[in-house]
Amino acid sequence: MSSLTYDLTLAGLSVGAAAALSGIGLIVTYRATGVLNFAHGAIAMVCAYVLRGCVVEWGWPLWWAAALTLLVVAPGLGVVLERFVFRPLSVLGGDPARALVASIGVFVLLVGGAALLWGPGARDDAPVLVSADPWGQLAVVAVLGAAVAAVVRRTRFGRELRAIVDDRRLAVLGGVDADRVAAAGWAFGSFTAGLTGVLLAPYVRLDPYGLPLLVMEVVAVAVAARMRAPAVAVAVALGVGVAQSQLTRLHPSGWGEPLLHAVGANLFVVALLIAALALPGVGARDALPRTATARTPAPPGAWLVAGVLFLLPLGFAGRDLHTAVQVPALGVVLLSLVVVTGRGGQISLGQAAYAGLGALFTALLAAGRFPGLPRLPEPAALAAAVVLVAPLGVLTGWPAIGRRGLALALATFAVGVGVSRFVFDQPYATSGLSLGRPAGFDDDRAYYVLELVLLGCALTAVRALRRGRTGRALAAMRDHESGARAAGVRVPSLKLLAFVCGAALAALGGGMLGMGLRAFDPDAYDPVRSLLWFAAVVVLGADSALGALLAAALLVGLDAGTRGGVAAAVIGVLAVLVGRFPGGPYEALRAAAGRLRPGGPVGPTPLGARVRRLLRGPDTGPAAAPVPTGATATGAGPRGNRRGKGTPEGRRAPGRPAGRSAATGGRAGRGARDGPPAPPSAEDASGRPLGEGAAHGVPEGRRRAPAAPEGPPPVPRRTAGSPAVRPVGASAAAPASSPVLTARALYARYGGFTALGGVDLELPAGRVTAVVGPNGAGKSTLFHCLAGTVRPARGSVRFGARDITRMPAHSRTRLGIARTFQHLAVFPTLTVAENVRVGAEQGRVRDAGAVERTLRLLGLDGPVRALPAAGLPTGTLRRVELARALAAGPRVLLLDEPAAGLDTAEVAALARILGALAADGMALLVVEHDLDLVAGVADVVHVMAAGRIVASGPPGHVLGTPEGASGP
Ligand SMILES: Nc1ncnc2c1ncn2[C@@H]1O[C@H](COP(=O)(O)OP(=O)(O)OP(=O)(O)O)[C@@H](O)[C@H]1O
Report the SS3 class of residue 863.
helix
Confidence at 450, pLDDT banded by 50, 70, 90: very high
Residues facing residue 762 across a β-bridge: 742
pLDDT tier, 640 (very low <50, low <70, confident <90, very high otherwise): very low
Rounded to an integer, the average pLDDT of 202-209 is: 87
Q: Is 846 helix (H, G, I), strand (E, B) or coil?
A: coil
Range of the domain at 99: 3-278
Confidence of residue 75 (pLDDT cuts 50, 70, 90): very high
Residue nearest ligand 1's atom 12 by CA: 755
Higher pLDDT pick, 960 / 418: 418
Q: What pLDDT band is residue 692 in, cutting at 50, 70 and 90?
A: very low
State mean pLDDT over 372-392: 95
pLDDT of residue 172: 82
Please tell me whether residues 762 and 829 are part of one structural domain: yes
What is the percent of the chain with per-residue pLDDT over 90, rounded to a whole number? 43
pTM of the model: 0.80
Q: Which of 62-71, 309-318, 607-616 has the lowest mean pLDDT?
A: 607-616
pLDDT in tens, 214-260: 888 888 999 999 888 888 999 999 999 999 988 888 877 777 777 88
Atom of ligand 1 nearest to the CA of 947: 14
Atom of ligand 1 nearest to the CA of 822: 27
What's the mean pLDDT when you consider all of the chain?
79
Whether residue 169 is predicted with pLDDT greater than 90 in this model: the reply is no
Average pLDDT of the segment spanning 671-698 = 32
Residue 646 has pLDDT above 80, yes or no: no
Look at 45-59, 80-94, 209-223, 240-254 and tell me which has the smallest mean pLDDT. 80-94
For residue 624, the model assigns a pLDDT of 32
| 485 CA distance to ligand 1 middle (Å) | 21
Mutate to test the pocket of ligand 1, among 285, 704, 780 (most ligand atoms within 8 A of CB): 780
How far does the centroid of ligand 1 lie from the alpha carbon of residue 792, in Å? 14
Residue nearest to ligand 1 atom 25, measured at CA: 775
- Position in ligand 1 atom list of the atom nearest CA 929: 25
Within 6 A (CB) of ligand 1 lie 750, 753, 755, 773, 775-781
Distance from Cα 3 to the centre of ligand 1, integer Å: 59
Atom of ligand 1 nearest to the CA of 778: 18
Assign 415 a pLDDT band (cuts: 50, 70, 90): very high
Centre of ligand 1 from the C-alpha of residue 929, in Å:
14
Residue nearest to atom 30 of ligand 1 (CA): 776
Question: Are 563 and 612 in a shared domain?
Answer: no
Q: Band the pLDDT of 323: cuts 50, 70, 90.
A: very high
Q: At what angle do helices 527-539 and 326-337 cross, to 10 degrees?
A: 80
Tell me the residue type at 82. Answer: E
Ligand 1 centroid–CA 782 distance in Å is 10
Residue nearest to atom 29 of ligand 1 (CA): 776
pLDDT number for residue 673: 32
The number of the ligand 1 atom at minimal distance from the alpha carbon of 944 is 21
User: Which atom, in ligand 1's list, is nearest to the CA of 927?
Assistant: 22
The residue nearest atom 18 of ligand 1, judged by CA position, is 778
Choice among 102-116, 274-288, 545-559, 771-785 with the minimum mean pLDDT:
274-288
Residue 752 CA to ligand 1 center (angstroms) comes to: 13
385 has a pLDDT exceeding 90? yes
**For a pLDDT cut of 70, what percent of the chain falls above it?**
79
- Give nearest CA residue, ligand 1 atom 5: 750
ipTM of model over 0.95: yes
575: Cβ contacts below 8 Å, ≥ 6 apart: 101, 102, 104, 105, 108, 109, 535, 538, 539
Q: For the sheet containing 940-945, what is the strand order? A: 817-819, 892-896, 923-927, 768-772, 940-945, 948-953
DSSP 889-915: --SEEEEESTTTT--HHHHHHHHHHHH
> Could you tell which of 753, 785, 927, 943 is best to mutate to test the pocket of ligand 1, judged by most ligand atoms within 8 Å of the CB?
753
536 shares its domain with 623? no
Which of ligand 1's atoms lies nearest the C-alpha of 753? 5
How far, in Å, is the centroid of ligand 1 from the Cα of 712? 19
Average pLDDT over residues 135-145: 85
Average pLDDT over residues 413-440: 89
Distance 954 CA to ligand 1 centre (A): 26
Amino acid letter, residue 352: A
Q: Residue 923 has what pLDDT?
A: 94
What residue's CA is closest to ligand 1, atom 1?
Answer: 750
pLDDT at 1: 59
Q: For residue 318, is pLDDT > 90? A: no
- Distance from the alpha carbon of residue 778 to the mean position of ligand 1, in angstroms: 6
Q: What is the CATH number of the domain that holds 758?
A: 3.40.50.300
For residue 279, report the distance from its CA to the centre of ligand 1, in Å: 26
Between 874 and 738, the more confident residue is 874
Residue 142 resides in a domain: yes
Q: What is the CATH number of the domain that holds 141?
A: 1.10.3470
- Could you give the CA distance from residue 769 to residue 164 in angstroms, rounded to a whole number? 42
Nearest-10 Cα torsion for 276, 282, 283, 287: 40
Protein residue with least CA distance to atom 2, ligand 1? 750
Name the residue with higher pLDDT: 184 or 406: 184
Q: How far is the CA of 751 from the centre of ligand 1 (A)?
A: 12
Residue 295 lies in a domain: no
Q: 346 CA to middle of ligand 1, Å?
A: 29
> If DSSP codes are grouped into helix, strand and coil, which group holds residue 741?
strand
Q: Is the model more confident about 130 or about 935?
A: 935
> Can you tell me the distance from the alpha carbon of 523 to that of 527, in angstroms, rounded to the nearest whole number?
9
CA distance 102 to 285: 17
Considering the domain architecture, whether residues 444 and 518 belong to the same structural domain is answered as yes
pLDDT given for residue 233 in this prediction: 92
Within a 10 A sphere around the Cβ of 317, how many other Cβ atoms?
Answer: 10
Write the burial class of residue 519 (CB in 10 Å: 0-12 exposed, 13-18 middle, 19+ buried): middle
- Going by alpha carbons, the residue nearest to atom 7 of ligand 1 is 750
Ligand 1 pocket, mutate which of 756, 779, 942 (most atoms under 8 A from CB)? 779
- pLDDT above 60 (res 599): no
Q: How confident is the model at residue 540 (pLDDT cuts 50, 70, 90)?
A: confident
**What's the pLDDT score for residue 10?**
87
Region 192-217 average pLDDT = 89
Q: How far is the CA of 944 from the centre of ligand 1 (A)?
A: 12
pLDDT at position 134: 79
Nearest-CA residue for atom 28 of ligand 1: 776
CA Rg, the chain, in Å?
Answer: 32
Best residue among 775, 821, 929 to mutate for probing ligand 1's pocket (most ligand atoms within 8 Å of CB) is: 775
400/94: higher pLDDT:
400
Mean pLDDT across the stretch 165-176? Answer: 78
Ligand 1 center–CA 300 separation, angstroms = 50
Residue 900 alpha carbon to ligand 1 centre in Å: 17
Interval between CA 699 and ligand 1 midpoint (Å)? 29
Q: Do residue 249 and residue 330 come from a single domain?
A: no
Domain membership of residue 177 (yes or no) is yes
pLDDT at 965 over 70: no
How many CB atoms lie under 10 A from the CB of residue 432?
Answer: 8
Choose between 635 and 809: higher pLDDT.
809
71 with 170, same domain: the answer is: yes
Total domains present in the chain: 3
pLDDT digits (tens, 9 = 90+) for 573-587: 988 887 666 444 434
Identity of the residue numbered 791: R
Give a yes or no: residue 741 inside a domain: yes
SS3 942: strand
Q: Facing residues of 704 across strands?
A: 930
pLDDT value of position 960 = 66
Using DSSP's 3-state secondary structure scheme, residue 714 falls into coil
Report the separation in Å between the CA atom of 868 and the middle of ligand 1, taken as the mean of its atom positions: 33
Which pLDDT band, with edges at 50, 70 and 90, does 337 fall under? very high
**Alpha helix positions (H), 201-290:** 210-217, 219-224, 230-247, 256-265, 267-273
Which residue from 915, 801, 296, 960 is spatially nearest to 581, judged by alpha carbons? 296
Indicate whether 569 and 617 sit together in one domain.
no
What pLDDT score does 637 carry?
32
Query: Higher-confidence residue: 385 or 648?
Result: 385
Tell me which of 632 and 859 has the higher pLDDT. 859
User: Do 626 and 533 share a domain, yes or no?
Assistant: no
Q: Are residues 250 and 110 in the same domain?
A: yes
Ligand 1 atom at shortest distance from the alpha carbon of 773: 21
Mutate which of 750, 783, 925, 931 for ligand 1? The one with the most ligand atoms within 8 Å of its CB, which is 750
d(CA 332, CA 393): 16
DSSP-assigned letter for residue 704: B
One domain, residues 609 and 576: no
Distances (CA, A) of 854 to 95, 313, 692, 913, 917: 35, 52, 21, 11, 12
pLDDT at 882: 93
Determine, yes or no, domain membership for 719: no
Tell me if 24 is assigned to some domain: yes
Quick check: 602 and 864 in contact, CB under 8 A? yes
In a shared domain, residues 876 and 921: yes
Query: Does residue 44 surpass a pLDDT of 80?
Result: yes
Separation of CA 777 and ligand 1 centre (Å): 7
- Taking CA atoms only, the protein residue closest to ligand 1 atom 31 is 776
What's the pLDDT at 95?
Answer: 64
Please check whether residue 590 lies inside any domain of the structure.
Answer: no
Closest residue CA from atom 6 of ligand 1 = 750
Supply the residue whose CA is at minimum distance from atom 16 of ligand 1. Answer: 778
Q: What confidence category does residue 651 fall into, taking pLDDT thresholds of 50, 70 and 90?
A: very low
b/e map of 800-828 (b: 16 or more CB within 10 Å)? eeeebbebbbbebbbbbbbbbbbebbbbb
| H or E stretch covering 631 | helix 629-634
289 lies in some domain: no
Based on the fold, state whether residues 221 and 337 are members of the same structural domain: no
Sheet containing strand 741-750, edge to edge, reads 753-763, 741-750, 794-799, 802-803
> If you measure from the C-alpha of residue 776 to the centroid of ligand 1, how many angstroms do you get, rounded to a whole number?
5
